[in-house]
Amino acid sequence: MDAAVEGGCSDVVVVLGAERDAYAAALAGARAQVTVNPDYKEGMSTSIRCGVEALPTECTAAVILLADQPRIDGGIVHALLETYATSGRRIVAARYGDVRGAPVLFDRALFLELLVLEGDRGARAVMEIYPNEVAEVVIPAEAALDVDRPEDVERLQRDD
């Protein structure tokens, strides 16, 4: 949430699923709209849909950030927004090593594509459909550290 605000996003939507009460309490007073995904067990696509559906109607693009990438900062989000403004592309994805993925920005013209995702497929599926619409922002691999397991948390704490 902080990365989105610091990076220049005008509206921030936080999608909660598991442990939503604990996270909602932590977000009390934050500059974000909180929405709950009751179907979070069905996969990442349901959280993407909830987030897109909660966006204001005047929203022209959306940056999808993942909570399990704690090293993504406002500078990276700003770079996505700047690349979107200058590239003429409808998708701007982070590139780290051989991976192209989150965080990723989608133009409003592709929101319908995000709304029809199903299961545990993320927004990468939309990038695969429109490869010529993708611009990239190269970020350090350590910035994209994905924290999913206890070992990842230990690594994050060691490196900080």
Q: Could you tell me the CATH number of the domain that includes residue 142?
A: 3.90.550.10
Show the domain range for 18: 2-159
pTM score over 0.85: yes
pLDDT at site 159:
67
Total tally of structural domains belonging to the chain = 1
What Cα–Cα distance (Å) separates residue 121 from each residue in 6, 48, 63, 88, 143? 28, 10, 17, 26, 23
pLDDT at site 30:
83
Helices (H), 55-149: 74-87, 111-115, 124-129
Segments of the chain scoring below 50 in pLDDT: none
Q: pLDDT (tens digit, 9 = 90+) per residue, 54-84?
A: 999 999 999 999 988 999 999 999 999 999 9
Rounded-to-integer distance, Cα 50 and Cα 59, Å:
15
pLDDT at site 142:
86
pLDDT at site 156:
66
Residue 88 falls in which region: left (phi positive, over 0), alpha (psi -120 to 50) or beta: left
